[in-house]
Structure 1
């Protein structure tokens, strides 16, 4: 191992640094005691002997610290504290200067070498605490932002949007869409205080949100008193029709429980349909994850042309679940924008 490497390990060792700090304190103490009134010449000579020993220690310290820089000793003087240390120690060896009062005072400046690192350590500690607090606050804000994002977008879509902010549009060949609407809500809203309307909708839709979470469905949006949810998007699933049927029946039961608990008489129209859909994110501000396609339009028409407290479905939907649910045929129904469709009511699971 090179001599410079030995010097470097020695200079950076904890015991060496503590030894030098102790020597500096002893030097300062010796200077202070030596100048006290009433000190005898014998005692003074003793202090001077101690000072000479300490100067030898400081000289050895300079050799070690400069030697640690190997072939580039000038790098030692890149630090102002190192240059001050060297100047103080060097001046003490200039003949005739060891008794100068000014020089003795200058030697006290070595104490600053001890105070400065302590001050710097305290500053660094405080800065680290401030940085830690800032990072913690940043993490909390990030978590809040992510929670807000997940309240707007499905998890899979949010991750894609964060990873690559591009247009997101996906086609799903098999999905089931549900629309639900509170019957007579417009008339109810005209005679009810706004605060009560919002409170009631929040209570009802929170129940529906809980059901959607239990059945692993994706709530798309609410528009006024209309609630929209989908199965098989953005995660495809083979049982999308069954899951959306369970959701529809559970919503009717949940609203019935709400009516009994709150003394209300609210009714719900529900419409279902299955088929291909396109799903994606639209907008750059206040963006929304939405669905498009004939399947969506047909499910919406099943709801708007439905019957209170019934779940109306298309014939195609009823065929998908004929072996798992009971259906009641409604018959040919004129559907706006589509024409005549043979529709059914979903009544119960088998």
Structure 2
């Protein structure tokens, strides 16, 4: 037996994250939009004579444009993010201070909330928490500044102050709503992807394992192992395959096996048999895992006859020189799931060994079965007694050749 060697692969350096690149582009875009909006916001204050207040959003725009030029590349993402979070936190507070408190500034400090929201988008929840705490502290300080002072102490008209209230509250609300919509959309997309992957995993388990075993595997943590009686095991082997493959390309060999075994899969499903595995050019199925041994033996016999007919037909036109040998036996087996990362359902026992040896002893185009299987088939099949047949590595077994399919 060849020993499979596993050579550890040398790890390549990590590639730039697509998420980081996307976050950088979103940060640049949002900083650019905020800087442009601040120009017009400062112009509004300047129009009514509040030049010192206007200098604050204009200063934000200038600083943002400078930082965008300095840190426009990906490696400046952290510096650009930190500068934007700091500016969006402090400048609305300074503007509130300059205009004389909450009411006089139309609650412009609410724009400082974009700092923790931005940290949530461009950093993580832990970082955003600290920025949010800083925002709350600034709000408390602003409350202390404005406490007991309800007079208007700036040049802004009362009507404009009300309009700015609406603009400030609406603007931040829109930003918060857009972010919530984005996060909810991401959450729904993530849940949908998880549901798709879960369904793929369940479909994969159903393809690899019997349905009842797959359900048990999802429920139980303990190893799955059963002793089953009267299970009919069938081995089918393509005779002449070795000589055929010596003069064929890998693509031709795989095409042949895929064509034949795909047809066998369809037949096994139609007859209610459980495919266990393929071993090279050999195909293994069994019936009777869920009881009803007579029906399972008959289905296995019908499956065997159909595989002979199918391979005979395609070999007459495509694959000359090939044939098939089939061995069948019925008995008790141990069945279970092995593996933790790559599951495999298999059966073991003397009954399996006998079925494999019968396949080896069969002649091309022949279905050789044991007396145990023959006794379950009844009178619906033509059985040709062969007496005791010597099996490699096993005591002789009374065998029969299956002569024809069941009557419809």
> Could you tell me the TM-score, scaled by structure 1's length?
0.70
Equivalence for 2:298: 242
CA deviation vs aligned residue, 1:195-227 (integer Å, no higher than 9, x gap): 211110110000000000111110000000010
Structure exhibiting the larger radius of gyration computed from Cα positions: 1
Please tell me whether residue 191 in structure 1 is matched to residue 244 in structure 2. no
Equivalence for 2:180: 124
The structural deviation recorded for 1:115 is 1.8
The 1-side partners of 2:314 and 2:176 are apart by: 65
Distance 1:263 1:190, change over 3 A: closer
The alignment's C-alpha RMSD in Å is: 3.2
The structural deviation recorded for 1:98 is 4.1
Equivalence for 1:204: 260
The 1-side partners of 2:242 and 2:316 are apart by: 22
Aligned with residue 288 of structure 2, among 232, 252, 258: 232
Please tell me whether residue 139 in structure 1 is matched to residue 195 in structure 2. yes
SS of the residue aligned with 2:315? helix
The 1-side partners of 2:157 and 2:212 are apart by: 73
Equivalence for 1:59: none
Please tell me whether residue 221 in structure 1 is matched to residue 277 in structure 2. yes
Distance 1:132 1:207, change over 3 A: same
Equivalence for 1:71: none
Distance 1:83 1:330, change over 3 A: same
Task: Tell me which stretches of 4 or more aligned residues in structure 1 moved more than 3 Å.
Answer: 78-92, 102-107
Equivalence for 1:40: none
Aligned with residue 152 of structure 1, among 208, 231, 253: 208
The 1-side partners of 2:184 and 2:378 are apart by: 66
The 2-side partners of 1:147 and 1:265 are apart by: 37
Aligned with residue 323 of structure 2, among 250, 260, 267: 267
The 1-side partners of 2:320 and 2:142 are apart by: 87
Equivalence for 1:336: 392
> Could you tell me the TM-score, scaled by structure 2's length?
0.61
CA deviation vs aligned residue, 1:271-304 (integer Å, no higher than 9, x gap): 1111111110122233311111111111111101
Q: Structure 1 regions of 5+ residues with no counterpart?
A: 1-30, 37-54, 56-77
Tell me if the contact between 1:183 and 1:308 (Cα under 8 Å) persists in the aligned partners. yes
Please tell me whether residue 167 in structure 1 is matched to residue 223 in structure 2. yes
The 1-side partners of 2:220 and 2:143 are apart by: 57
Tell me if the contact between 1:204 and 1:258 (Cα under 8 Å) persists in the aligned partners. no
Higher relative contact order (CA 8 A, sep 6+): 1
Equivalence for 2:155: 101
